[in-house]
Structure 1
Amino acid sequence: MYHRHSQRQAQAHTPTPAYNQGYGGYASPPPPVHGGAGYPGYAPQPPPMQPPPMRVAPPGADPELWHWFSAVDADRSGSITVTELQSALVNGNWTRFDLDTVKMLMNIFDTDRSGTIGFDEFQGLWRYIKEWQDVFKHFDRDRSGSIDGQELSAALKSFGYQLSPMLLNMIEQKYASGPVAGYGPPPGITFDRFVRACVVVKTLTEAFQAVDTDRDGWIQINYEQFMKIVLSAP
């Protein structure tokens, strides 16, 4: 996506529905799937401010992305914090991205481990979100603005993850959220939680695969190894 694309970023992508061997690992980000206008599922919202004229974009920077970065950088520090990023990301029901999802995104794209993201890192983050937007649109078949159980199953199957109905139900219950004050999409998985759910499934699957060396679907691990697998999830 951009020149600082790190190993952590590559691992966080949930790739194209082109299956590899093993557990359904992938090599590239989701394919672009174009949706119609007025789609309710996702609405990035920068704060209603204009960057001051003296802030000149870096050479070669996309002017639109620089504008968004400058708008989100509310304290004019030159980098974006978790709080600032959360204020700029809104779901289709106008709820802000939940904090755990924002922290996950920051962890993926904070390549220098500074606790904030600069403009180069922000470019990668923004393109990553746009790629996921297209995936979300594709699988939200009823255009409700949220992902239900059947849509979640279709998405994970297309990514190569064959989960049991029990596991799918657990994921749906864990990541679903209800409507806001009687308006917005019906109960289901909003865009932010959908991204996090898919990344968690991918992370845990790859952690399991690393331990299941004979590929028989069974592993023998001790308590510490089990905790490392679980805690590695975003």
Structure 2
Amino acid sequence: MLRGIQHNKETSILCVNNVWIDLHPQVLIFLYERSIDSRQETAFTHCEDRVEAKLDNDTVSEAEVDAGFRGLFTKLAGKDMEISAAELQSILNKIIAKRTDIKTDGFSLETARVMVNLMDDNGNGQLGLGEFATLWKKIQKYLSIYKKNDMDNSGTMSTPEMRMALKDAGFSLNNAIHQILVVRYGEADMTIDFDNFVACVMRLEMVFKVFMKIDTANTGSIELDFQQWLSFTMI
């Protein structure tokens, strides 16, 4: 459970004790500035609502990939049998451009990089067959959640629909975090299209996984030195 955020300005150490932590610098600056405005001396923001994630282990091994998908991957990946972030962006945008039931302005290269970072088990910056199959399974899952919660069939999600969709994806978040996510991933009219929904969910999953990986003792609390902090904000 993650519930607040505190920053030690003298040591440049971020202390997370039952906290929400978004590794994107702009969001943390926003949170920190808000905490300074509300409590100048302690720079502390407290969130009452429970924040947690239930992440499915839906990894697909190469042995589990059927012949049809294997053949598709071979065509998409080319001779090196790996898919880079730029190639992934192109593939996904060609696929979603054919759909008329969802609205999207296309996946950005940044989102494609987040996907690769999340799925890349061997650290080579590209996706192999099993990694791509796992990602494809996730995208299909998130598409199903997106369409289910698009109650008015507008092709986009409203803020309340986004809240329900994130819950279906396994994330229980508080109001403050929902507001930050809508500001970051929403359009000018505060609606969320499909590519931004996927970008949001992928980023959330990465943030929670990174936190859990660092918090090896499951204390709900981590400390990062400045170099570690810079490394994680660049993910």
**Same fold? TM cut 0.5:** yes
Does the CA contact (< 8 Å) of 1:146 and 1:187 recur in 2?
Answer: no
Partner SS for 1:117: coil
Which residue is 1:193 aligned to? Answer: 196
CA distance in 2, matches of 1:160, 1:151: 14
CA distance in 2, matches of 1:222, 1:59: 38
Of 77, 88, 94, the residue aligned with 2:80 is: 77
Per the normalisation by structure 2, the TM-score is: 0.57
Of 57, 60, 63, the residue aligned with 2:67 is: 63
Which has the bigger relative contact order, CA under 8 A and spacing at least 6?
2
CA distance in 1, matches of 2:185, 2:174: 16
Does the CA contact (< 8 Å) of 1:87 and 1:96 recur in 2?
Answer: no
| In the alignment, structure 1 residue 25 sits paired with structure 2 residue 53 | yes
Does the CA contact (< 8 Å) of 2:119 and 2:131 recur in 1?
Answer: yes
CA distance in 2, matches of 1:82, 1:107: 9
| In the alignment, structure 1 residue 115 sits paired with structure 2 residue 118 | no
Q: What is the total number of aligned residue pairs between the two structures?
A: 173
Which residue is 1:126 aligned to? Answer: 136
- Shift of residue 228 of structure 1? 6.0
Trace 1:38-57 onto structure 2 (pairs within 5 A).
Answer: none
**Structure 2 unaligned blocks of 5 or more:** 1-49, 97-101
Does the CA contact (< 8 Å) of 1:66 and 1:119 recur in 2?
Answer: yes
Does the CA contact (< 8 Å) of 1:177 and 1:187 recur in 2?
Answer: yes
Which protein has the bigger strand share? 2
CA distance in 2, matches of 1:126, 1:227: 30
Which protein has the bigger helix share? 2
CA distance in 2, matches of 1:25, 1:171: 15
Trace 1:159-174 onto structure 2 (pairs within 5 A).
Answer: 159-164=170-175, 166-174=176-184
Does the CA contact (< 8 Å) of 1:204 and 1:230 recur in 2?
Answer: no
Per the normalisation by structure 1, the TM-score is: 0.57
- Structure 1 letter corresponding to 2:86: T
Quick one: percent identity of the two aligned structures?
A: 21
- Shift of residue 220 of structure 1? 9.8
- Structure 2 letter corresponding to 1:24: E
**Structure 1 unaligned blocks of 5 or more:** 1-21, 31-57, 179-185
- Structure 2 letter corresponding to 1:231: T
